Structure 1
Amino acid sequence: MKSVKHKGLALVAVSSSMVGLGVGMAGTASALAWSSTNAGPNAALKAQATVSGSGASAVLTVNSDATGSKGDSNITDFGDGTTASTLQATHAYAPGALKETLTETSHSDVSATTTTKQVAVDATDPANIKYTSSVLIDLNAAGAVVTSHGTSSFDLSKILPAGTDLSGLAGTCDHGRGALPLTIDTKAMLATCNWTGAAATGQHVVTLTYSDNATGLKSTADEAIGIAAPPVAAFTTTVLSPGLVSVNTRGSSVENGIGTIDWGDGSTSQQTMPIGIGQLEEHTYTTTGLKTITFSVVDKYGQQASTTQQVDVSKANANFGQLTQFAGATRYGTGVAVSQEAFPFAHSAGAVVLARGDVYADALAGIPLAKAKNGPLLLTPGGASAKSLDANVAAEIKRVLPADKKHTVYILGGVEAIPQSIQDYISNTLGYNVERFGGATRYDTALGVAQNPQALNNPKHIVVARGDDFADALSSGPLASDKFTDASGAPAAIVLSTGNGVTEPVSLTPATAAYVTAKEAAAHPAGQTDVAAIGGGAVKAVAAISPNAANYTPIAGVDRFDTAAKVASFGWGTKPAALGVANGMNFPDSLTGGALMALQGSPLLLSVPGATSVSEATSAAMTADKDSVKNTYLFGGDQVFPYAVATDIMKLEGLNPAWYREAQLPF
């Protein structure tokens, strides 16, 4: 916001019927008269004055306001022969006339009486500078103020009228913490304020004061300006093929400016700032060899930064696989971003699995179901307070499913988890079939998904994981969906145990225990099992009911991160084509991300949110997989995966940081 204020008008009471505004320099006395017909006339008058220009060319403009007068006839006399018959009027006096007296007369035809009121306007008295200035400062002029981190420069040729005498110019600038001296360069026509050490980064109001020593008049102008930290230019490169180079400007920092890539062969590319979100640019050279690439940024205050690299474009990088980070403003938005990656084309999914996003209980069995139905796993708020389906999730369901009344949304959990009103909305308003799988407990829900003919229909293989914690079940999801399938490729089901076997006892519900026992007893090829137990608690729970340890496959690490790494090694060895990494301490992004990895046929590893690097077990798994992994997926925003962690992951995977993409949604 820019505003200009002029100073120099004061009102002084003089007698019962006259008010004067005194100033210090003699001038022509002028009368401003209002006449109005009324039984009881009353003259009222206000005046506001401004001055533009300086010296003999200064022009006084007065705005008169007599709206408070009462009378039948009205005349305004400005005292120089000019009158007006309106209650409000504006009049500009001849140059040099800086003191004027205005008289307003109010006349009543009924009582044949008249009252008057006068005001005197003096634009030359330094003591009365509230509205008057000798020089109009125009900070609204284009390019008038150039602010950087450290200085603010005022272009005098743009903010002051042409011909202004600068010999008497003095001034200060106020950044909100006290006045600072204004350094004036009359030759360069610049007035500069040094901010170093005085103003922090952010928004500040600058007040520029001009003082004309020849007349003693002053004027001020205010402007809200931003003081930004110096910009940072950074980029990484990847040679995709001989002569074809990709540049990623991730790591740059600049406020509302322009970034320019100079490719070193006479061509350039521009990016609109702010930067820091992994913008990619590609360029093809007509010749190979060593190329000099420069990336420069300039912010809205004119601050600049640049950096240069030399790149040999003769040979492609050994591995230029892509790292993609999925993030929404909420867990529901992240789920939509993952869904859009899995099903980029409209109406390309076979179904949608919908789970409660604020509690993980019923959602743990959802990843294999989403893989079996060829659909995304989406989340929505649940519980008694949830009155409607998340609007963005509803839009995503409509995007991925054809509106043909033939496709199904599978709801995990009973009406206490996802209310009936949401089911009715999906069915009646969106127009999709709805199947709900919900039991009295999370253990019953998981068992129902495994056994129901409309769900996984009693698959040959099952995976057991803890239901009172989420981590092992979520890293188990891709294994159950891809590597622990039966001969037909049907996913295994996930059923749930309880307890960690260390600080609390382990158990299976009677129904789940009977189901596991039946699977162990079924015929299977020698050396193979139909049951896998993931995580220490689940392994102990299955062992407690299994007469023969050879009837199940135990996979457990020292913690959730090590268990996820062991699951990846067991299922994919060192040859996965892709790899997912999710928050090991919270479930939503791991759940929706696990569904994508199941569709990709690749494992899901876990990370500590906000850490500076991944865990030792996760690091070892990534290093072992780096020769085969071409795509790595991070599920969660920068609070989960700071850029330092993303860079660490790319190094472990042998990926060039230039090929870093962020799939972000604002909701």
Structure 2
Amino acid sequence: MAADVSPGADDAPRLTTLGSDIEKEEQMPARTATPALVRNLILLPLLLALTMGVTTPAMAVDRVPATRPLATAPQRPSAPVRIALGDAEVQFTWRDVPGATGYRIRLTAYGKVVREQAWSAANIFIDGLDPETTYEFSVAAVNASGTGAYTAPVRFTTPFDFVERQFGADRYATAARVSFRAHPFHGIGAAYVTAGSDFPDALSAAAAAARAGAPVLLTRPTGLPDQTRKELGALRPSQTVVVGGPGVVSETVERQIGSIVGGTPRRLSGVDRFATAADVSALWPSAQVVYLADGMNFPDALAGAAAAGSTGAPVLLTRRATLPDATASALARLRPSRIVVLGETGVVSDETAALAAAATGVATTVQRLSGADRYATAVAVSQATFPRAGVPVVYVASGQAFPDALAGAAAAGRRGGPVLLTPQGALPTTVLAELRRLQPKRVVVLGGPSVVSDTVIAQLLPLAP
């Protein structure tokens, strides 16, 4: 991205362009003679002529303007519109100014300029802010003639951090943000990288990452997103694990990762999603508990990744009515005494659950965690995994898309809390009741207002201890 957003790069707020990855370097204006100097150079011949008694022709003396004519500078941008706000980040957009070649942004706090610099796009994401702090943001347009007038400052106050919204410009930036907040230091043991375009590999990766105290970062198939690249560079992991085959995480991405962290990443993959999950489970020599999730649809499985990670258990995938051979082989190797099935029988049938128990080769019980919908299923997983109140944190994510929830699952599993799901508009009553029961010390909302609305934030704030 345009600015250095690596954690620990500096103490100033970090900036991200939403629509462009280019930040223009500030160009210092060329020095010009001062008006007084120019005026003296013009009058000197006149004074000499008068002294010597020589008559000189009249001269037209133009005024030298002290500033560039306002007509040549770009017009003032429209008032910036704040479209998202978290306890440590804010997102603004404004209309493009015709003829502008760029912009300058200014952020102030406590009457002092915190950041002022060139910018290239008519939108911006700023993170690294302090909670419970009032800031003012303004923007000016720039062209070849100079910088126009700044907009009137837009004041905003970052909220109390009982509820923290973690988000970025897209799923990749959000995952990087979740990683930064959960691992705000250099030199971690491992980091997991998996495809951000589909859920199965991320599901098994999240459980493994949580067990290892590692983040899950997302990538495009053919190239590392800028935020993922910078977060890897900031984390400096001793080991990087790529989850998924070359079709979802290419060898180009693998080489890019290696150039950032040094060494060759370890790849865990199989011929399909079921075999990839089985390969990830090979990180466990054995397991007392295994979570079994639908490998074709994500809703019921989302909360299970955090639960599995917090209990140190792997996640395996299955089809609804048949047990894949790779899953059966993994169960035979792991030999669990309990299998936790995520979702109702319409997601994983009783027959499939029985086949899974038989595949272990040992006495194995089956526990099914399900509800009337994906939100109630997540509540059932939370109740079974966290029976006592006073959990350190609860992550709340969209139940209508998978990326934010799975990035949060690794962090939640590491920090000992559940992932609960919500629609965009408001928390379901079952989820709100579960939050009251859990009495969390903190709530992290994953994603911007277009994913989880500010109404959800308003519902959460009264739960503060």
When the two structures are superposed, what TM-score results if normalisation uses the length of structure 2? 0.66
Among candidates 332, 348, 363, match of residue 538 of structure 1: 348
Question: What is the distance in 2 between the residues matched to 1:251 and 1:394?
Answer: 21
Q: Quick check: 1:533–1:539 contact (8 Å CA) kept in 2?
A: no
The corresponding residue for 1:351 is 190
Q: Deviations over 1:214-253 (max 9, x none)?
A: xxxxxxx998356759x99xxxxxxxxxxxxxx9999999
The corresponding residue for 1:111 is none
Question: What is the distance in 2 between the residues matched to 1:306 and 1:475?
Answer: 33
Question: What is the distance in 2 between the residues matched to 1:339 and 1:305?
Answer: 28
The corresponding residue for 1:467 is 295
Q: CA RMSD in A?
A: 4.5
Task: Give the drift of 1:440.
Answer: 0.8
Question: What is the distance in 2 between the residues matched to 1:414 and 1:553?
Answer: 31
Query: Which amino acid is the alignment partner of residue 564 of structure 1?
Result: A
The corresponding residue for 1:637 is 448
Q: Deviations over 1:431-488 (max 9, x none)?
A: 23421111111001101111x2xx23332321001111123322111211223xxxxx
Alignment of 1:103-114 (within 5 A): none
Task: Give the drift of 1:422.
Answer: 2.3
Alignment of 1:3-14 (within 5 A): none
Alignment of 1:571-586 (within 5 A): 571-575=385-389, 576-586=391-401
The corresponding residue for 2:431 is 618
Unaligned runs of 5+ in 1: 1-80, 84-90, 95-135, 145-204, 206-220, 233-246, 261-268, 283-294, 308-319, 484-490, 500-505, 523-528, 656-667
SS at match of 1:422: helix
* Cα 1:440–1:139 shift into 2, 3 Å: same
Instruction: Indicate whether 1:498 and 2:319 are aligned.
Output: yes
Q: Quick check: 1:465–1:494 contact (8 Å CA) kept in 2?
A: yes
SS at match of 2:176: helix
Question: What is the distance in 2 between the residues matched to 1:305 and 1:430?
Answer: 40
Q: Quick check: 1:472–1:534 contact (8 Å CA) kept in 2?
A: yes
* Cα 1:341–1:541 shift into 2, 3 Å: farther
Query: Which amino acid is the alignment partner of residue 602 of structure 1?
Result: G
Alignment of 1:269-348 (within 5 A): 269-270=110-111, 280-281=131-132, 322-347=162-187
* Cα 1:249–1:637 shift into 2, 3 Å: closer
Question: What is the distance in 2 between the residues matched to 1:252 and 1:423?
Answer: 34
Alignment of 1:538-577 (within 5 A): 538=348, 540=350, 542-545=352-355, 546=357, 551-575=365-389, 576-577=391-392
SS at match of 1:369: helix
Structure number with the higher strand fraction is 1
Query: Which amino acid is the alignment partner of residue 373 of structure 2?
Result: D
Structure with larger Rg: 1
SS at match of 1:472: helix
Q: Quick check: 1:326–1:338 contact (8 Å CA) kept in 2?
A: yes
Task: Give the drift of 1:259.
Answer: 8.6
SS at match of 2:218: strand
The corresponding residue for 1:376 is 215
Structure number with the higher helix fraction is 2
Alignment of 1:494-533 (within 5 A): 494-499=315-320, 506-513=321-328, 515-516=330-331, 529-533=337-341
Q: Quick check: 2:374–2:399 contact (8 Å CA) kept in 1?
A: yes
Task: Give the drift of 1:538.
Answer: 2.8
Instruction: Indicate whether 1:607 and 2:422 are aligned.
Output: yes
Unaligned runs of 5+ in 2: 1-55, 96-104, 115-123, 139-149
The corresponding residue for 1:51 is none
Question: What is the distance in 2 between the residues matched to 1:577 and 1:645?
Answer: 20
The corresponding residue for 1:398 is 233
Question: What is the distance in 2 between the residues matched to 1:306 and 1:329?
Answer: 19
The corresponding residue for 1:78 is none
Q: Deviations over 1:64-89 (max 9, x none)?
A: xxxxxxxxxxxxxxxxx959xxxxxx
Q: Quick check: 2:233–2:260 contact (8 Å CA) kept in 1?
A: no
Instruction: Indicate whether 1:92 and 2:92 are aligned.
Output: no
Query: Which amino acid is the alignment partner of residue 338 of structure 1?
Result: V
Q: Deviations over 1:63-117 (max 9, x none)?
A: xxxxxxxxxxxxxxxxxx959xxxxxxx6299xxxxxxxxxxxxxxxxxxxxxxx
What is the percent sequence identity of the aligned residues? 22
Task: Give the drift of 1:423.
Answer: 2.0
Q: Quick check: 2:274–2:326 contact (8 Å CA) kept in 1?
A: no
Task: Give the drift of 1:350.
Answer: 0.5
Question: What is the distance in 2 between the residues matched to 1:431 and 1:296?
Answer: 39
Question: What is the distance in 1 between the residues matched to 2:220 and 2:88?
Answer: 36
Question: What is the distance in 2 between the residues matched to 1:462 and 1:532?
Answer: 6
SS at match of 1:354: strand
Question: What is the distance in 2 between the residues matched to 1:357 and 1:306?
Answer: 32
The corresponding residue for 2:275 is 444
* Cα 1:416–1:551 shift into 2, 3 Å: same
Query: Which amino acid is the alignment partner of residue 210 of structure 2?
Result: K
* Cα 1:508–1:304 shift into 2, 3 Å: closer
Q: Deviations over 1:131-176 (max 9, x none)?
A: xxxxx9x99799x9xxxxxxxxxxxxxxxxxxxxxxxxxxxxxxxx
Q: Quick check: 1:564–1:606 contact (8 Å CA) kept in 2?
A: yes
When the two structures are superposed, what TM-score results if normalisation uses the length of structure 1? 0.48
Query: Which amino acid is the alignment partner of residue 366 of structure 1?
Result: A
The corresponding residue for 1:647 is 458
Question: What is the distance in 2 between the residues matched to 1:306 and 1:495?
Answer: 45
Q: Quick check: 2:287–2:334 contact (8 Å CA) kept in 1?
A: no
The corresponding residue for 2:407 is 592
